[in-house]
Structure 1
Amino acid sequence: MSEQFINLTLDNLEHEHLCCAIADKKHQCGVATKKQWLKDRLVEGHVFRKLDVKGKVFIEYAPLETAWVPVCGENFLYIYCLWVSGSYKGKGYGKSLLEYCINDAKAQGKSGVCVLSSKKKKPFLTEKKLMTKFGFQVVDTLSDEYELLSLSFNGENPSFNDTVRQMRINQKELTIFYGMQCPFIPNCIEQVKTYCDNNRIPLNLIAIDSLQKAKELPCIFNNWAVFYNGKFETVHLLNESYLKKIV
């Protein structure tokens, strides 16, 4: 197993690729947007660590206090994404990346590491099975489906913010809360706009463009959340086929 990993920095950000959108031209606009978002986050202690290959092998995490998610707690690291795909699976890369994050948390004197997951495996969320092998435990739940997992070093644990537990909004039209943490999002927004325009479906897009907005969201959120008829539907990024299932 190669151990040649790279951390993105302000010095190498422009010429290094973002693993998840490496092979898809339609997401290159999102790559530029994500890199701009990262420039502000890296100085806050945000970490994007990847294998030095042209593949999807990376972890992305940040101090919980500055992580754009509706989770509260003191002195934790929050994992946005841990992704190993294709031929790189089964070679220990996920283990190495997660161990790096855990060791980083300990070196910084953090209270632990946390991540959003779910009882059953869901796209765009970290798989629970891997995390429990490392000692992560469920410390908060929502809708008997979504779970906040924590690896605590001192017995303290984070939790979902109280606003999250609403899981409902007053607007009845298709409503999407979105951030720019994921490079897939700009293209997903364009697909949703096109579909809704062509089918005369009312659409309400709400940009989460500040830390405060992210912390005060009325639902679970990693970078994307969908409501329809006032009810929370999914954190699954939408394309046309998935959108048809909802509306």
Structure 2
Amino acid sequence: MGEQFKNITLDNLDSEHLCCAIADKKHQCGVTTKKSWMKDRIDEGHIFRKLDAKGKVFIEYAPLETAWVPVNGDNFLYIYCLWVSGSFKGKGYAKELLEYCIADAKEQGKSGICVLSSKKKKPFLMEKGFMKKYGFVVADNIEEYELLSLSFDGTKPAFPDSLRQRKIENNILTIYYGMQCPYIPNCIEQVRNYCENNDIPLELIAIDSLEKAKSLPCIFNNWAVFYNGKFETVHLLNEGYLKKLLGV
């Protein structure tokens, strides 16, 4: 199956689709934004590997040192996303993609691989049961969120202590967001419109540098939500989920 996959490079980035938002017109702005973000990441070792087909089948990972997440560790790869959907499920594609990442990590002499997950399955996070089959174990956790790790040398990554408080001084709805995911611009638009139309105070904080990402006060893959000063979720918010969060 290996010949059916391809990596996004600087040479093909503009012409290749990013399969996570392949068919939805409302997310095309997000695709453009993500491609712009990726242009500066590829030379850092950022990998986006996908099935050469019109479908959502891909893995995306980067060296932990340059991954836009608040995770500490030396010489690890960090997996942002591994996604196989629809009719492509059950064909071994997720296995092939993860095994590619593992082989790549070993070839680069990495200490291991890590990924954000949770005790119970959550949208937008890696499924723990699948990763356990390949030797991933819990390296660290903050309440329901878990940092899974496959270590080759016994070392392990960890969440910074600054994440454990899960609080900020601001009590209004506060969202930290990056541009690594093409769904985010539309989510921001829905949240902003709903809050403006219903007089709900909102603060949007763009994570637009590696330094900001590494110094965040919360669990983060590309999105994080606080309400009443308390960390709530890394679940991307559309209008419906926002109403649920606000209890309206």
Residues of 1 paired with 2:216 and 2:164: CA distance?
10
Show the counterpart of 1:178.
177
**SS in structure 2 opposite 1:83?**
strand
Correspondences of 1:10-29 after superposition (within 5 Å): 10-29=10-29
Query: CA offsets per residue over residues 147-185 of structure 1, 9 Å max, x none?
Result: 000000000000011211121100000000000000000
Question: What TM-score, normalized by structure 2, do the two folds share?
Answer: 0.98
When normalised by structure 1's length, the TM-score is 0.98
Aligned to 1:244: 243
Q: Where do residues 1-247 of structure 1 align in structure 2 (5 Å cutoff)?
A: 3-143=3-143, 145-247=144-246
Counterparts of 1:172 and 1:164 in 2: how far apart (Å)?
Answer: 17
RMSD (Å) for aligned C-alpha atoms: 0.8
Q: Structure 2: which amino acid aligns with 1:181? A: Q
- 1:84-115 CA distances to partner (integer Å, 9 max, x unpaired)? 00000011000000000000000000000000
> In 2, Cα distance between the equivalents of 1:150 and 1:95?
17
CA distance change for structure 1 residues 220 and 119 in 2, over 3 Å: closer, same or farther? Answer: same
- 1:188-234 CA distances to partner (integer Å, 9 max, x unpaired)? 00000000001000000000011111111111000000000000111
> How far apart are residue 3 of structure 1 and its match?
4.3
Quick one: distance in 2 between partners of 1:10 and 1:41? 10
Deviation of 1:16 (Å): 0.2
Amino acid at match of 1:191: Q
Partners of 1:3 and 1:163 in 2: how far apart? Answer: 43
Structure 2 CA distance for aligned equivalents of residues 164 and 26 of structure 1: 33
Distance 2:160 2:207 in 1: 16
CA–CA distance in 1 between the matches of 2:193 and 2:24? 20
Structure 2: gaps (5+ residues): none
Paired with 1:5 and 1:113, the residues of 2 have a C-alpha distance of 21
How far apart, CA to CA, are the structure 1 residues paired with 2:60 and 2:49? 6
**Where does structure 1 differ by over 6 angstroms across 4 or more consecutive aligned residues?**
none
| Residue type of the alignment partner of 1:150 | S
Identity between Structure 1 and Structure 2 (%): 78
**What SS is found at the alignment partner of 1:62?**
strand
- Confirm or deny: 8 A CA contact 1:161 1:215 kept in the other structure: no
Gaps of 5+ in 1: none
Give how far 1:46 is off. Answer: 0.2
